[in-house]
């Protein structure tokens, strides 16, 4: 039966029934208000079922909630029944209502029945706001492009300007350097002097690093093996990066000379000597506070270097760590891989002695990267750490006397246990020995980085950083105690070399 037709029929029958009742009572046609009130609070049976009107004239009707059981066959079943007379909702026994989404829907939708919840209202943008947004975006893009172009032009201008370039005519070779140039071997006592402090280690052979004057200041001059430097873009960027890198634990790059045959690198001169010179000079006494200060200086310099555009050193060793007049250790001979080439030394002993600090994975390469690797630098630091602790030279093996070539060959072989320097807990702390062993681990990934090394050293040596002034005064006192003893000996050695040069 059509529910609309049935409802119309029941309504018409209700009206007729009430009309008859009121006409019999009033003996005439009653007004509509009386008929309407007679319809309220009335119950009767109609074609649509039991019809009940409440005190407001609203029909109270029973409802049934049908649940879709099978979507394929569109099968429904009654799940809930609401009785208006009892005002009670009853579930049909044996049925389970399948709600969409697995939960009962809210009484009020999230956005309201009229979608009038402020949270759900879509934000409208006015034409002025749109115009402002577009203009702001265009200005931002224009400013970004302008800054990028400016920085690019500035970079190109710096590359073309070659601010690093130094003419050989502007360098004045020091007189002492000319005197010592005639001699190929230097005595141990003379190596302790200021002029002989920048020695380069070639095994047992000690050759003075060149010194000279540039703009009235004494500088260190390092000649390269390259006869000619091609100024390609890679080399120009390396030279620019060297000028940009500034740190108190790195020697300052002053410039480079590329005038053949005088192709050389000009750097800051450190008059206190190299770390290798200090360690091999038995007349200099080093306590552990001083040793830790030197070690910490190396770590600080390498932390900065590894986080800079240089990325790695590649030739870290004690002879490449120098001490300036303020007793601050600085790392030298870093960067500028374009100025480096493989050394073809005729002295096999010197050739292999230079490789004692090189990591095994680099030694095994036919052409290792000239700039090295960060993990390779950590290995080199481990060798230096043992050298500082024991003061017995690089890669000290105790009673096992092996030549540098034999040591390098066995390290390359990778025998087990791996050949490594000895540790002596009686001389240094066990924690320092463990740090050495971690640094020269065979597997590069097992070696700590310099940031972690810095934290470990601070943890194991808290007392050394308690008073910076006392630390500095201790350094100066130790050097002063040895100075008086060395002055006379060095002066005599210098005069002897000068007499030899004059005799030639």
| Predicted confidence (pLDDT) per residue in 62-117, tens digit | 888 888 888 788 888 888 888 887 788 888 888 888 877 778 888 888 888 887 77
Do 4 and 100 fall within a single domain?
no
Q: Is the residue at 457 inside a domain?
A: yes
pLDDT digits over 236-272, tens only?
A: 888 888 988 999 999 999 999 988 888 889 999 988 8
> What band does 189 get if pLDDT is binned at 50, 70 and 90?
very low
Task: Find the helix packing angle between 374-390 and 430-439, rounded to 10°.
Answer: 150
With a cut of 60, say whether residue 205 has pLDDT above it: no
- Give me the number of domains the chain comprises: 3
Whichever domain contains 282, its CATH number is: 1.10.510.10
User: What does DSSP assign to residue 405?
Assistant: H
Do 413 and 365 fall within a single domain?
yes
pLDDT at 248: 92
Domain boundary among 43, 60, 77: 60
pLDDT at 200: 40
- When mean pLDDT is compared across 50-54, 124-128, 406-410, the lowest value belongs to 124-128
pLDDT at 460: 79
Q: Is the residue at 248 inside a domain?
A: yes
Do 314 and 218 fall within a single domain?
yes
With a cut of 70, say whether residue 481 has pLDDT above it: no
Q: Is the residue at 266 inside a domain?
A: yes
With a cut of 60, say whether residue 188 has pLDDT above it: no
What is d(CA 364, CA 411) in angstroms, rounded to the nearest whole number? 9
pLDDT digits over 118-148, tens only?
A: 777 666 667 888 899 899 999 999 999 999 9
pLDDT at 304: 95
Do 24 and 101 fall within a single domain?
no
Q: Is the residue at 146 inside a domain?
A: no
Do 49 and 77 fall within a single domain?
no
pTM as predicted:
0.62
What is d(CA 273, CA 328) in angstroms, rounded to the nearest whole number? 11
Q: Residue 23's domain spans which residues?
A: 1-60
pLDDT at 209: 62
Q: Is the residue at 110 inside a domain?
A: no
Domain boundary among 60, 75, 97: 60
Long-range contacts for 166-170 (Cβ within 8 Å, ≥24 apart)? 166/214, 166/254, 166/255, 166/256, 166/257, 166/266, 167/257, 167/259, 168/257, 168/259, 168/262, 170/214, 170/215
Strand partners, 83: 88
Residue with tokens 């005799």: 503
> What band does 184 get if pLDDT is binned at 50, 70 and 90?
very low
pLDDT at 202: 40
Report the percent of the chain where pLDDT is more than 70. Answer: 86
What is d(CA 40, CA 14) in angstroms, rounded to the nearest whole number? 11
Q: Is the residue at 94 inside a domain?
A: yes
> What band does 192 get if pLDDT is binned at 50, 70 and 90?
very low
Do 79 and 164 fall within a single domain?
no
Q: Is the residue at 241 inside a domain?
A: yes
Do 162 and 14 fall within a single domain?
no
With a cut of 60, say whether residue 338 has pLDDT above it: yes
pLDDT at 478: 62
Do 377 and 278 fall within a single domain?
yes
Q: β-strands 217-223, 63-70: how paired? A: unpaired
Do 225 and 100 fall within a single domain?
no
CB-CB neighbours of 297 under 10 Å: 20
Over residues 438-463, mean pLDDT: 89
Q: Is the residue at 176 inside a domain?
A: yes
With a cut of 80, say whether residue 176 has pLDDT above it: no
Do 432 and 339 fall within a single domain?
yes
> What band does 154 get if pLDDT is binned at 50, 70 and 90?
confident
> What band does 443 get if pLDDT is binned at 50, 70 and 90?
very high
- When mean pLDDT is compared across 96-110, 127-141, 282-296, 462-476, the lowest value belongs to 462-476
CB-CB neighbours of 333 under 10 Å: 21
Residues recorded for the chain: 504
With a cut of 80, say whether residue 296 has pLDDT above it: yes
Do 72 and 173 fall within a single domain?
no
The rounded mean pLDDT for the chain is 82
Do 269 and 386 fall within a single domain?
yes
- Angle, CA of 378, 293 and 311, to the nearest 5°: 30
């Amino acid at each position: 039966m059509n529910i609309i037709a049935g409802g119309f029929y029941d309504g018409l029958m209700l009206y007729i029934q009430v009309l008859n009742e009121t006409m019999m009572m009033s003996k005439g046609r009653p007004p509509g208000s009386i008929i309407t009130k007679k319809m309220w609070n009335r119950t009767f049976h109609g074609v649509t079922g039991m019809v009940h009107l409440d005190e407001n004239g609203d029909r109270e009707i029973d409802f049934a909630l049908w649940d879709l059981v099978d979507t394929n066959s569109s099968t429904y079943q009654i799940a809930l029944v609401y009785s208006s007379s009892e005002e009670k909702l009853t579930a049909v026994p044996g049925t389970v209502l399948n709600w969409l989404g697995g939960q009962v829907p809210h009484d009020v939708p999230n956005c309201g029945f009229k979608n009038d919840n402020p949270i759900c209202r879509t934000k409208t943008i006015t034409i002025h706001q749109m115009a402002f947004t577009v203009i702001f975006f265009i200005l931002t893009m224009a400013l970004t492009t302008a800054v990028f172009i400016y920085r690019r032009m500035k970079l190109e201008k710096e590359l073309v300007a070659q601010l690093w370039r130094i003419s050989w005519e502007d360098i004045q070779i020091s007189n002492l350097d000319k005197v010592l140039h005639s001699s190929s071997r230097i005595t141990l006592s003379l190596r302790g002097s200021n002029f002989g402090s920048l020695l380069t280690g070639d095994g047992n052979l000690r050759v003075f690093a060149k010194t000279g004057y540039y703009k009235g200041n004494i500088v260190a001059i390092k000649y390269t093996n390259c006869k000619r430097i091609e100024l390609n873009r890679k080399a120009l960027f390396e030279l620019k990066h060297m000028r940009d890198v500034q740190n108190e634990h790195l020697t300052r790059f002053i410039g480079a000379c590329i005038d053949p045959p005088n192709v050389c690198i000009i750097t800051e001169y450190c008059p206190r000597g190299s770390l290798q010179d200090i360690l091999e000079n038995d007349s200099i006494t080093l306590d552990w506070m001083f040793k830790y200060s030197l070690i910490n200086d190396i770590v600080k310099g390498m932390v900065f270097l590894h986080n800079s555009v240089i990325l790695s050193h590649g030739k870290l060793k004690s002879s490449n760590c120098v001490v300036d007049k303020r007793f601050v250790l600085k790392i030298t001979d870093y960067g500028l891989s374009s100025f480096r080439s493989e050394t073809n030394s005729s002295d096999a002993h010197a050739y292999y002695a230079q490789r004692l600090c090189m990591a095994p994975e680099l030694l095994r390469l036919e052409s290792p990267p000239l700039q090295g690797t960060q993990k390779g630098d950590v290995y080199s630091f481990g060798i230096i750490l043992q050298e500082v602790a024991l003061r017995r030279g690089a890669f000290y093996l105790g009673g096992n006397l092996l030549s540098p070539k034999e040591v390098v060959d066995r390290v390359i072989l990778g025998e087990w246990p791996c050949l490594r320097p000895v540790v002596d807990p009686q001389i240094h702390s066990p924690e320092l020995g463990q740090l050495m062993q971690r640094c020269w681990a065979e597997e590069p990934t097992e070696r700590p980085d310099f940031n972690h090394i810095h934290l470990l050293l601070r943890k194991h040596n808290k007392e050394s950083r308690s008073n910076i002034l006392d630390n500095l005064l201790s350094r100066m006192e130790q050097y002063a105690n040895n100075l008086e003893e060395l002055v006379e000996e060095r002066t005599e050695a210098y005069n002897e070399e000068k007499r030899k040069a004059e005799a030639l």
